[in-house]
Amino acid sequence: MKARILGKTGYQVSEIGLGCWQLGNDFGPVEDQEASAILHTAVDQGISFFDTADVYGGGLSEQRIGQWRQSLSRQPIIATKVGRDAALYPDAYNKAAIKKSLQASAKRLGVEVIDLAQLHCVPREVLFGGDIFAWMEDLKQEGIIKHFGASVEMLDEAIFCCAHPQLASLQILFNIFRQDAVDSLFPLAEQNEVGVIVRLPLASGLLSGKMTLDHAFDKGDHRSYNKDGVAFHVGETFNGIPYEKGVALVEQLKAKLPEGQNILDVSLRWILDHPQVSSIIAGASRSSQVVRNAAVSALPPLDGELHKLLSEFYRQQVRKEIRGGI
């Protein structure tokens, strides 16, 4: 597994990380044994970067990580998020409440100081208001967190955050069906030494190539209850693309790929071909997926022709289908 530097943190993180939302059972139930197997497999595959949040399963994802990490001789980097808990969201943000949330996260994770705390898609007015960054600076000074970053929905939010002198990382939605950051954000992120963490690399699993029109999602899975953005931002689940359209687009693209290439490897490798990306936090609901995804770090870069095909397909077929703005 190759490693890259995560922006201003200076941490060496594995190119393929692990997204741990599913460990909160928010994609349907993951038994304790499977959750533990997923985490252990990740480390066995050389994964050293894990992303979670206080709200994943109401703290369950952090708890599982906290328990598991006690068994490790070498500690991975664990990034969590703050800002969507009912104590803060949508309009009760203040430094004391953020500090309390972070202290609760640290306790669940079993750490003294949080490696990286990311603002978790906080409302636009809170983000652009600016006070929240000053509070995060203070909390860094106080030793509650080592570094802070932000996870955002929209590119204008990402660009705004990038300008903050202490912002270490940005977590964005980026994949072959969401390519705009290449031109609008990456040059700035590089210039400001902001590490890019990629979420939804497989567009909630669509880009694994296995989804079909009759695929049934668990009713507790956000891919069922937030399919059309009823519960949270419409641009998030399935990358903002209506499910049926997404399945059709994947099938169309599969037919265009050169012989011997499959859409899952192409999707993850395409992301890694952008040097501004520090780590891809791919989600996985079973260990075999972790193994498969981790293996992409060893694949060679895609050739120029394939990059061109993917760029054209995105611009001509996919971009117009994304709901909720980019």
Residue numbers at the binding site for ligand NAP (CB under 6 A): 19-22, 27, 51, 81, 120-121, 151, 171, 199-205, 208, 210, 236, 264, 281-285, 289, 292-293
Name the token pair of 169.
């990382």
Residue with Cβ nearer ligand NAP (164 or 199):
199
| C-alpha–C-alpha distance, residues 27 and 7, integer Å | 30
How far CA 246 is from CA of 26, 228, 251, 255, 307, in Å, comes to 21, 12, 9, 14, 20
Query: Measured at CB, which residue is nearest to ligand NAP?
Result: 283
Min dist. Cβ of residue 21 to ligand NAP (A): 3
Q: Min. distance of Cβ 25 from ligand NAP in angstroms?
A: 12
Least distance in angstroms from the C-beta of 120 to ligand NAP: 6
Nearer to ligand NAP, 68 or 305 (CB): 68
Using CA of residue 165, residue 166, residue 169, residue 171, what is the dihedral sign? negative
For the chain, the residue count is: 326
Q: How far is the CB of 152 from ligand NAP (least distance, A)?
A: 8
Nearer to ligand NAP, 41 or 204 (CB): 204
Could you tell me the smallest distance in angstroms from the CB atom of residue 312 to ligand NAP?
A: 22
Q: Supply the minimum distance, in Å, between the C-beta of residue 268 and ligand NAP.
A: 9
For ligand NAP, give the closer residue by CB, 208 or 278.
208
Q: Select 210 or 308, whichever has its Cβ closest to ligand NAP.
A: 210
Least separation in angstroms between CB 100 and ligand NAP: 20
| Residue placing its CB nearer to ligand NAP in the complex, 144 or 173 | 173
Residues 62 and 56: beta-carbon distance below 8 Å: yes
Give the residue with the Cβ less far from ligand NAP, 87 or 191: 87
